[in-house]
Structure 1
Amino acid sequence: MSEVKEVSNILSDRISALSESQTIAMAKKARELAAQGHDVINMSFGEPDFQTPQYIKDAAKKAIDDGFTFYTPVPGYPDLRQAIVDKLKRDNNLDYNIDNIVVSTGAKQSIANVVLCLVNPGDEVVIFSPYWVSYEEIVKLAEGVPVQVQGSLENDYKVTPQQLEDAITSNTKLIMYSSPSNPTGAVLDEEELLALAEVLKKYPNVYVMADEIYEYINFGGKHASMAAIDFMKDRVITVNGFSKGYAMTGWRVGYIAANKEIASACDKMQSQMTSGTNSIAQKAAKAALEGGKETALEMSAAYLRRRNLVLDLISEIPGFKTSVPAGAFYVFPDVSYYFGKSYNGQTINSASDLSLFILTDALVAGVSGEAFGAPQCIRFSFATSDEKITEALRRIKSSLEKLQ
């Protein structure tokens, strides 16, 4: 009998190299403290505190009564995909048909589909930084090489055309960004997108994944899509969904709009992973789009009021430096002023140290910027009530005064 080889690690290298989502990890710590009886204010999670609008819930109930309880087409129901086509024309001036649309179980799956379908081992993927936590990890899963391009606080964390030009090499396959941005709230306007596109015009084999999940939470002008630039349309994969604008996080519905070759590839990939998205959630998503943007804009107005409240209160905290978020529902202050300071024998050496100190001392949960490619920052979500925001910032200011 041959000798059985002892395996020291049963897990694959792939999963061992993958980092846990820091937003989920911090939310877990906050829940653990709350379970112990502490009054924790959670500003770590990117989740609207609004209920899904009633007309969307009603459509889901009707879908159950109407018998939509069977497997769905892999890329989504045709009527939902048509509603997405109509939305893209109405809101974004984009002309597609349903063959260009793939509906997935949340925008995160949409992003994973795109990266896994485009990126070969060794391909470089330029990620505008600060970035959403999962971008880099998804690229690693595809065995691509993440290349961070860091936007500066002075430029509202936006990457410049020259920075993009300098980052592109013969190995570059994909550019990834979000606008409005998670975690910074930065919004790329039409002029800025055109300037970036002019750089990409010289590199026809480089594709762009534009994450527009926060489209309806925009405090400035009209939302702009890079896919609306004629010479870029076939090279841009627009990712969007329902979780943020329609407060449908638990429904898990996202989608892409892309050229037919890429859309077909994502359809094929999804057919072997999850198949079609939940039938009831799809009918709810169709109702959301057909109901227009009124409820989304009402929620956006509330986020704007909360943003202004957060900025007023943060301005009273010594050492916090922040840009003015133009969209989404996050504030992302540079907190490096506190690095090297101590309290009760605990020295703050990083944003992770500081976010943990704030959680344990102030009982307020935020997420270290290290998870977003900005180790000098902490992300706080203002998708919570005015009262909780006011109390959270009061606690944070009080706790930070202890650091010397």
Structure 2
Amino acid sequence: MLTKAHRIDGMALSEIVAITEEAARLRAAGHDVLALSTGEPDFATPAHICEAAQRAMQTGQTRYPATAGTPALRSAIAQQAGVEPGNVIVSTGAKQVLSNIFLATLNPGDEVIVPAPYWTSYSDIVALSGGKTTVLPCGADAGFKLTPAQLEAAITPRTRWVLLNSPSNPSGAVYSADELAALGTVLACHPHVWIASDEIYDLICYAPFTSFRVACPDLAERTIVINGVSKAHAMTGWRIGWGIAPAELIKAMIAVQGQITSGACSISQAAALEAVTGEQGHIAERLDAFRDRRDFVVEALNAIPGITCPVPDGAFYVFPSCAAVLGQRTPDGTTLDTDADFCTYVLAATGLAIVPGRAFGLPGHFRLSYAYARADLEDGCARLNRAVQGLTSNQRTTS
């Protein structure tokens, strides 16, 4: 019998992936299922990026690449960030960048502060690296954002990192330059704490975007910015992300990456180079499309009794509250006690797959991705409305 390592105790497939795969299974079995559960743009990778990959194959760029990334791609990223190539590592997706960070720096019991809601893999990556996640709930009343007071109260001698995500998955929250600077003021007093800023959605932002490195330049020597081409350039399958950090951290991360994957795919790196340096017209066009989709979804969801949906400032998700419908009964008499119960009911009743807020560390909500075609979003919101309309109150009247 297999004995699992303790480091993966309680670890399982991401709830986002599990829900999406269940939806695919049901669809393959002939059921009418619509999944709005995955953060993957429905747009194609732009043609000029694909053509760059073809040229790379045709010119023989098919051998082992340098572990830290091809010199051309590292240089291009570094130039845009105003750093040296030695401050850049290219990895197989932003998830590997995060894994490299924590595998390279955490010892057992070290703490990582993570505001909730957070992307589901954060806590598991920290746990796999031997660390402990300190989750700080940041509700809708705070704009789903961490406050300086919360941060100050959470820092201990064992805190090694604060992990921020702006624009946020799942809430779409965007920290302003002033808000980041206020967090930086707290962190300036705690030199043992480093900052990991996940900015993968920086080009999908409807409000002014400021990188943490720009807002807090005095903390650059203990900051890493995580980014990549997956979201803004519709390149999820190409698997290219990168980190921008002090050289000492980059060297430690290269040591980790060299024993796990070595360098990221050479053809994908050639495509990413074109994405970073080539024609950028698709960014604005697609941002306009995402904004239109956001506005439609927010209005449609807020029209559903019991659903409250704030307007996100970035990314392509909404994170509405379903708290007002919890406690109600489904047509078969089942009481919905949790957001997971609600999402399970919606899938069973209407074939719509969405993700419960518990997966992101903040129950009472659900995530719906609007990275889908308008027709799918209209269909999805209609299904959700039908599901909610089918609920009845558990309150009993007396005469």
Equivalent position of 1:356 in the other structure: 344
| Offset at residue 73 of structure 1 (A) | 0.3
**Aligned partner (choices 351, 355, 363) of residue 367 of structure 1:** 355
Counterparts of 1:104 and 1:281, CA distance in 2: 11
Counterpart residue identity of residue 206, structure 1: V
Amino acid at match of 2:211: S
- The equivalences for 1:40-189 within 5 A come to 40-88=33-81, 95-189=82-176
Shift of 1:76: 0.4
Counterpart Cα distance in 2 of 1:199 and 1:16:
34
Deviation, structure 1 residue 258: 0.4
Who is 1:389 aligned against? 377
For normalisation by structure 2, the TM-score amounts to 0.96
1:333 and 2:326 correspond: no
Q: Residue 334 of structure 2: which of 324, 346, 351 is its match?
A: 346
Contact preservation (8 Å) 2:123, 2:133:
yes
Partner of 2:197: 210
Q: 1:400 aligned to 388, 392, 399, which one?
A: 388
Q: Which amino acid aligns with 2:6?
A: D
Q: In structure 2, do the counterparts of structure 1 residues 149 and 134 end up closer, same or farther at CA, with 3 Å as the change threshold?
A: same
Q: What is the distance in 2 between the residues matched to 1:377 and 1:17?
A: 22
1:226 aligns with 2:212: yes
1:18 aligns with 2:18: no
Q: TM-score, normalised by structure 1?
A: 0.95
Deviation (angstroms), 1:281: 0.2
Conservation of the 8 A alpha-carbon contact between 1:117 and 1:265: yes
Contact 1:156–1:324 (CA under 8 A) maintained in structure 2: no
Q: Equivalent residue of 2:49, what SS?
A: helix
**Aligned pairs (5 A) from 1:214-363:** 214-221=201-208, 223-228=209-214, 229-343=216-330, 344-363=332-351
- Superposition RMSD in Å: 1.0
Deviations, residues 205-262 of structure 1 (Å, cap 9, x unaligned):
10010000000000012x2111122211011110000000100000000000000000
Offset of residue 345 of structure 1 = 2.8
Report % sequence identity.
39
Contact in 1 for aligned 2:203/2:232 (Cα 8 Å): yes
Name the aligned partner's letter for residue 165 of structure 1: E
Specify the SS of the correspondent of 1:157.
coil
**Contact 2:205 / 2:315 at 8 angstroms: preserved in 1?**
yes
Q: Give the residue type in structure 2 aligned to 1:355.
A: C
CA positional deviation for 1:87 = 2.3
After superposition, the Cα gap between the structure-2 partners of 1:293 and 1:193, relative to the gap in structure 1 and judged at 3 Å, is: farther
1:257-284 Cα distance to aligned partner (Å, 9 max, x none)? 0000000000000000000000100000
- 2-structure distance, mates of 1:59, 1:38: 40
**SS, match of residue 17 in structure 1:** coil
1:360-383 Cα shifts (integer Å, max 9, x gaps): 111111111111001111000000
Distance 1:111 1:79 in 2: 22
- Is contact 1:153-1:322 (8 Å) kept? no
| C-alpha distance in structure 1 between counterparts of 2:366 and 2:302, whole Å | 15
**Which secondary structure state, in structure 2, belongs to the residue aligned with residue 342 of structure 1?**
coil
- Which runs of structure 2 are paired with 1:34-45 in the superposition (5 Å)? 34-45=27-38
Contact 1:152 1:159 in 2 (8 A): no
Q: Distance in 2 between matches of 1:295 and 1:327?
A: 17
Deviation at 1:64, TM superposition (A): 0.5
Distance, in Å, in 2 between the alignment partners of 1:203 and 1:15 is 31
Please say if residues 298 and 310 of structure 2, whose CA atoms lie closer than 8 Å, have aligned partners that are also in contact.
no
Secondary structure of the residue aligned to 2:306 is coil
- Alpha-carbon distance in 1 for matches of 2:184, 2:126: 22
Deviates more, 1:142-151 or 1:326-335: 142-151
> What is aligned with 1:28?
21
Cα deviation for residue 16 of structure 1 reads 3.6
Task: State the distance in 2 between where 1:293 and 1:175 align.
Answer: 32
SS in 2 for 1:346: coil
Distance 2:314 2:374 in 1: 18
Partner Cα distance (2:314, 2:86) in 1: 30
Amino acid at match of 2:359: A
1:292 CA drift (Å): 4.5
**Number of matched pairs:** 390
8 Å contact kept, 2:7–2:130: no
Deviation, 1:114, is 0.6
Q: Distance in 2 between matches of 1:55 and 1:311?
A: 33
SS at match of 1:102: strand
Match of 2:397 in 1: none
- Structure 1 residue ranges without an equivalent (≥5): 1-6, 89-94
